[in-house]
């Protein structure tokens, strides 16, 4: 059997600045079709078009009723392939093709119901309910100020809401569709089916973009690219580097050497677990560098969070280079770069830097290492990396873990780092994690951890008053980590965790729960 060509069918997504653009791409890929995102005015998008089966225009914050707003490029309007415009993408299409868009007196934001009044391939067989006339109703998510008030020649009105007559429009012969609502968000109950219909029934894509096929494809690519050359990989125990390690091990076995720098700033037993999974269980060559002492010495006396971060980052690179230099025959350096990193650095070079989430990864390695870069996850979103991890049979707790910052516990101990603080924090954090898992709450929050506060607060233990340290618990719910709400964990649960921490850990007299949202507070305490 020949392997599926996972790139045979591609969708071009033009980004008009919507917060949901990456979500559109993730949904398209979940459905099994490869796609790439480009800024609406990028030249690379035009170069990509001949290979595309279809085009999706995202939403965006602008109004086509203003002057000098983003437009649909000429080459898209002339393209032979199907087009799906979403929200702003639809409005831009309609106004450029001769229709009309006007500011709406009533902003529509949130749930809405569209009434289908024409047959259309995107909605065949879909129905969330019916009105008195027997027409199908669909629950959708809207977020718009402007609306279409007149449609171009050749277009039909497919669906309406009480406040937007043209909620869905289409030129069915030319396969151009416009949706005022967002099919990519889960609140649109049949969003996945609508996108699937566009991809499969309109664009004739096949669903070959699956975890199994991606792994097979990558293994072949790496084997062809490398032949008998050797690769070094910095393994951190995080999702991305773990998946790269498992993938490369499958592709090239012993030609891969991983370097795992144990900073001493990891969670309880984490270093041992990394070694168990990769070295003992899978037989991957892993060099573990026990660098706790070096990190503690370098951090001694440092209080400023950014100074701590910098010190850790620099030392990490220095240690990695020392170890890498010992592996004489290596010519490649593998990295866990993923697609959002690629999009963000592209935005940085095109000046759309305000869209960028600043990420502060430790382990960014120097450019002057004389090694070629191997980035097998460059095309993948985080959820795709996780699916690969599952397909590669990596432990669930490693692949579906909350994010952990590069500088580790150092940004969860306020001020100076001492080994005693790290040990107390590790024990407290472990109790919190155990109970979150036991109560089925771990997967219901996006990130949870304990923070060590080096202040002494009074407690009465036995007969005496004791002044001991404070632990703060933090748990948040978020989609993108840019904004977050504190998780409303049950009081009984918090009570249990607090009692366990104070009773079981020597040195803690008080536990607090952080009820700050982001903004204004950040998720981490430093
Ligand atoms: P903040 O604290 O900025 O965190 O709200 C947002 C997300 O970023 C993570 N974070 C870091 N990750 N190095 C990292 O690799 C860091 O220095 C760092 N600081 C924050 C944080 O855990 C959260 O997921």
pLDDT at 522 over 90: yes
Whether residue 31 has its Cβ less than 6 Å from ligand 1: no
53 within ligand 1 shell (Cβ under 6 A) = no
Q: What is the pLDDT of residue 369?
A: 65
Residue 332 has pLDDT above 50, yes or no: yes
Output the pLDDT for position 234: 97
Q: Could you tell me if the CB of 62 is within 6 A of ligand 1?
A: no
Strands 330-334 and 372-374: parallel
**What's the mean pLDDT in 189-211?**
97
Task: Check residue 13 and give its pLDDT.
Answer: 98
Reported as a pLDDT band with limits 50, 70 and 90, residue 281 is very high
Active-site choice (36, 108, 184, 193): 184
For residue 489, pLDDT over 80 is answered with: yes
- Model confidence pLDDT, tens digit, residues 369-416: 689 999 999 999 999 999 999 999 999 999 999 999 999 999 999 999
% of the chain surpassing 90 pLDDT: 88
- CB-based contacts of 179, cutoff 8 Å, min separation 6: 84, 85, 86, 87, 90, 167, 168, 194
pLDDT for 366 equals 58
The encoded tokens of residue 522 equal 């950040």
pLDDT(80) > 90: yes
Phi, psi torsion values for 286, nearest 5 degrees: -125, 125
Lowest mean pLDDT among 131-145, 204-218, 347-361, 378-392: 347-361
pLDDT-based confidence at residue 348 (cuts at 50, 70, 90): low
Cβ–Cβ < 8 Å for 376, 218? yes
Identify the band that residue 353 occupies on the pLDDT scale cut at 50, 70 and 90: very low
pLDDT at 123: 98
Question: Exactly one of 87, 120, 203, 205 is catalytic; which is it?
Answer: 87
The percentage of residues in the chain with a pLDDT greater than 70, rounded to a whole number, is 95
Q: What angle do CA 219, 221, 224 make, to 5 degrees?
A: 105
The answer to whether the CB of 274 falls within 8 A of the CB of 246 is: no
Instruction: Compute the distance between CA of residue 242 and CA of residue 255 in angstroms, rounded to an integer.
Output: 16
If you average pLDDT over residues 94-105, what whole number do you get?
A: 93
Stretch 238-266: mean pLDDT: 97
Is residue 22 over pLDDT 60?
yes
pLDDT at residue 306 greater than cutoff 90: yes
Query: Which DSSP helix (H) or strand (E) runs through 75?
Result: helix 74-77
Q: Which of 30, 394, 46, 404 shows the shortest CA–CA distance to 186?
A: 30
Instruction: Give the H/E segment covering residue 159.
Output: strand 156-160
Instruction: Find the Cα–Cα–Cα–Cα dihedral 3, 205, 190, 173, rounded to 10°.
Output: -170
How far is CA 250 from each of CA 168, 212, 247, 293, rounded to the nearest angstrom? 47, 13, 5, 34
Give the residue-averaged pLDDT of 256-261. 98
**Is a pLDDT exceeding 50 seen at residue 359?**
no
d(CA 405, ligand 1 centre) in Å: 5
pLDDT digits (tens, 9 = 90+) for 421-467: 999 999 999 999 999 999 999 999 999 999 999 999 998 877 788 89
Is the pLDDT assigned to residue 1 strictly greater than 60?
no
- Flag whether pLDDT at 168 surpasses 70: yes
Residue 476 has pLDDT above 50, yes or no: yes
Q: Which of 311, 312, 481 has most ligand 1 atoms within 8 Å of its beta carbon, as the pocket-test mutant?
A: 481
The 10s digit of each residue's pLDDT in 102-120 is 997 777 788 999 999 999 9
Structure tokens at 388: 């690969």
**What local confidence, expressed as pLDDT, does residue 118 receive?**
95
- Closest by CA to 349, choosing from 39, 37, 69, is 39
pLDDT of residue 365: 55
Give me the chain's average pLDDT, please: 93
Residue with tokens 């002492």: 293
* Closest ligand 1 atom to Cα of 309: 17
Q: In this predicted structure, what is the pLDDT of residue 145?
A: 86
User: What tokens were used for 373?
Assistant: 């870069």
pLDDT mean over 189-193: 97
Counting from 1 in the atom list of ligand 1, the atom nearest the Cα of 402 is: 24
d(Cα 342, Cα 235) in Å, to the nearest integer?
Answer: 20
Task: Mark whether 87 is an active-site residue.
Answer: yes
pLDDT of residue 239: 96
Choice among 139-153, 298-312, 341-355 with the minimum mean pLDDT:
341-355
Ligand 1 centroid, distance to 125 Cα (angstroms): 44
Ligand 1 in contact with 297 (CB < 6 A)?
no
pLDDT band per the 50, 70, 90 thresholds, residue 161: very high
Edge-to-edge strands, sheet with 230-234: 285-290, 256-262, 230-234, 330-334, 372-374
The DSSP code sequence of 202-235 is IT-------HHHHHHHHHHHHHHHHTT-EEEEE-
* Residue 360 pLDDT greater than 80, yes or no: no
Going by C-alpha positions, the residue among 290, 241, 293 that lies closest to residue 422 is 293
- Provide the pairing of β-strand 136-150 with 100-116: antiparallel
For the chain, the C-alpha Rg in angstroms (whole number) is: 26
Neighbouring C-beta atoms of residue 119, cutoff 10 Å: 10
Are the beta carbons of 22 and 381 closer than 8 angstroms? yes
Statement: residue 361 has pLDDT above 80: no
Q: Does residue 357 carry a pLDDT above 80? A: no
Any ligand 1 atom below 6 A from CB of 361: yes
Closest ligand 1 atom to 526 CA:
2
Residue 355 has pLDDT above 60, yes or no: no
356, pLDDT greater than 50: no
Handedness of CA 122, 125, 129, 133 (dihedral sign): positive
Q: What is the model's pLDDT at position 479?
A: 83
Residue 77 has a pLDDT of: 97
- Predicted TM-score (pTM) of this structure: 0.88
């Amino acid at each position: 059997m020949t392997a599926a060509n996972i790139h045979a069918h591609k969708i071009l997504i033009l980004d008009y600045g919507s917060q949901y653009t990456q979500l559109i791409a993730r949904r398209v890929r979940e459905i099994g079709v490869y796609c790439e995102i480009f800024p609406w005015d990028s030249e690379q998008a035009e170069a990509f078009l001949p290979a595309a089966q279809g085009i999706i225009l995202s939403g965006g914050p602008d109004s086509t009723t203003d002057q000098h707003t983003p437009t649909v490029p000429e080459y898209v309007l002339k393209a032979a392939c199907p087009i799906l415009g979403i929200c702003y993408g639809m409005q831009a299409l309609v106004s450029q093709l001769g229709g009309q868009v006007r500011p709406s007196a009533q902003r529509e934001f949130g749930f809405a119901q569209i009434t289908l009044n024409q047959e259309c391939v995107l909605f065949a067989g879909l129905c969330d309910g019916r009105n008195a006339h027997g027409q199908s109703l669909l629950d959708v998510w809207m977020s718009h100020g402007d609306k279409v008030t007149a449609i171009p020649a050749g277009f039909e009105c497919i669906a309406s809401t009480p406040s937007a007559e043209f909620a869905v429009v289409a030129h069915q012969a030319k396969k151009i569709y416009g949706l005022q609502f967002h099919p990519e968000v889960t609140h649109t109950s049949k969003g996945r089916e609508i996108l699937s219909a566009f991809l499969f029934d309109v664009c004739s894509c096949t669903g070959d973009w699956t975890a199994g096929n991606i792994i097979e494809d990558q293994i072949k690519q790496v084997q062809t690219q490398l032949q008998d050359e050797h690769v070094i990989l910095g393994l951190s125990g995080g999702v991305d580097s773990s998946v790269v390690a498992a993938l490369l091990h499958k592709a090239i076995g012993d030609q891969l050497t991983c370097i795992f720098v144990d900073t001493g700033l990891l969670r309880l037993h984490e270093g041992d677990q990394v070694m168990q999974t990769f070295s003992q269980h899978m037989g991957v060559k892993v060099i573990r560098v026990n660098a706790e002492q070096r990190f503690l010495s370098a951090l001694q006396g440092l209080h400023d969070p950014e100074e701590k971060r910098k010190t850790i980052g620099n030392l990490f690179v220095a240690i990695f280079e020392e170890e890498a230099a010992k592996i004489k025959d290596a010519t490649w350096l593998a990295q866990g770069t993923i697609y959002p990193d690629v999009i963000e650095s592209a935005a940085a070079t095109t000046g759309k830097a305000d869209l960028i989430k600043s990420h502060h990864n430790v382990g960014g390695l120097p450019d002057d290492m004389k090694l070629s870069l191997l980035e097998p996850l460059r095309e993948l979103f985080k959820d795709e990396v996780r699916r690969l991890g599952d397909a590669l049979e990596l432990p669930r707790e490693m692949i579906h873990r909350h994010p952990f910052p590069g500088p580790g516990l150092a940004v969860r101990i306020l001020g100076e780092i001492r080994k005693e603080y790290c040990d107390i924090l590790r024990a407290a954090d472990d109790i919190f994690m155990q109970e979150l898992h036991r109560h089925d709450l771990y997967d219901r929050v996006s990130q949870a951890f304990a923070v060590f506060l080096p202040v002494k607060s009074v407690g009465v233990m036995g007969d005496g008053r004791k002044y001991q340290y404070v632990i703060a618990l933090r748990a948040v719910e978020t989609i993108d980590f840019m904004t977050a709400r504190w998780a409303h964990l049950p009081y009984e649960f918090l009570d249990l965790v607090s009692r366990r921490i104070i009773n079981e850990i020597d040195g803690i007299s008080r536990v607090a729960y952080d009820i700050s949202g982001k903004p204004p507070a950040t998720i981490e305490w430093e």
